[in-house]
Amino acid sequence: MESRVEEEKKQEIPLITPYQMGIFQLSHRVVLAPLTRQRSFGGIPQPHAAVQYAQRASNGGLLIAEATWISETATGYPNTPGISTKEQIEAWKPIVDAVHAKGAVFFCQIWHCGRVSHYDFQPNGQPPISSTGKVLAPQIEINGVDVAHFSPPRPLRTDEIPGVLNHFRLAARNAIEAGFDGVEIHGAHGYLIDQFLKDQVNDRRDEYGGSLEKRCRFALEVVEVVASEIGAGRVGIRLSPFANFNESADSNPDALGLYMAKALNKYNILYCHVVEPRMTKVGEKAECHESLWPMRKAFKGTFMVAGGYEREDGNQAVAENRADLVAYGRLFLANLDLPKRFELDAPLNKCNRATYYTPHPVIGYTDYPFLETTSM
């Protein structure tokens, strides 16, 4: 048992305080953010993923699995996992079991890339589907050398949208069958849902484009079908109204974020996970005067934030009631026992960006060291 002094010391650290998230009793507020690692060969989660997630699981901690595609049209990157087939469901089960064995809560992020794709990833080499026909410009890949090219997308017809909604619904059902505690809908970073939300991308003239309310319709319909399928208390959504990832800026991100935060209350979902305004480009953090406070005040469920947080500003966000939970990506990638390190204010391992997306099942994946003193 912890001594009284140790317990009092823990209570002084806002991130290391308990939190009741719906039916889930969390022991701390440090969340593993969804991190694409491209080690699911052929779209099938691999046994090494069980090691990776279990290493980062702690009793009463919350983990969000990497972006997981919902259908054969949904992928845009090699070696990312799916949750649309029986084989994929069965492959996820031992991974989920390994996390649960550590006493952690595990959500699956369900994802459709939309236009962030190429003919090579699509069934029969078809155009990727999107809200628009506008193509993404080529991008330098993470290694700083190779260039990613994207194929011209095809705008979804209105009569096709129910089919895509059904894929989100089935993916949520499959995630629960695999043992996940819930799902996070990926509505951020310029992928399909964000392609509907943002006016830089969405150029539709039907009931899914034009006004703010119409641009948000698709996202809210996804929330509705997923919540109806698995229960609102097991559903979260990730949003990035201020970000311009994948050429997905919006002319009025404050209005977009606030509208979504208010509209989500109708569905009583568990949490809203929002990327900070300061994170406008992948891996780049800048100070800004904008704030998520309006969204925080408007949304009635658990409010989670992400985007370049470290120990100090994460503690401050919780202490000032700007967030209930703080999601960490790169720091959690390199520090398997990040909550314990935050508790002890221990030194942190450094990330090796060169190994973020390699296919190796160990290097840069499960070989970061734990603290020598303890593990959670």
Known catalytic residues?
A: 191
Phi (first) and psi of residue 365, to 5 degrees: -125, -60
Other CB atoms closer than 10 Å to residue 211's CB: what's the count?
Answer: 10
361 vs 353: CA distance, rounded Å:
16
Find tokens 């026992």 and name the residue: 337
How do 24-26 and 19-21 pair as beta strands? Answer: antiparallel
Report the alpha-carbon distance of residue 113 to residue 70 in Å, rounded: 10
- Tell me the two tokens of residue 133: 């026909």
Q: Give, as one character, the DSSP assignment of residue 42.
A: G
User: What is the Cα–Cα distance from 159 to 282, expressed in whole angstroms?
Assistant: 34
C-alpha 324/C-alpha 46 separation (Å) is 32
Phi, psi of 272 (to 5 degrees): -125, 125
Token pair in block for residue 238 = 């990730």
Helix, strand, or coil here: 203?
coil
| H or E element at residue 327 | strand 325-328
Torsion of CA 125, 167, 56, 362, to 10 degrees: -20
Cβ neighbors of 100 (< 8 A, separation 6 or more) are 106, 179
Structural tokens at position 19 = 């939190």
DSSP code of residue 154: E
Query: Helix or strand or coil: residue 200?
Result: coil
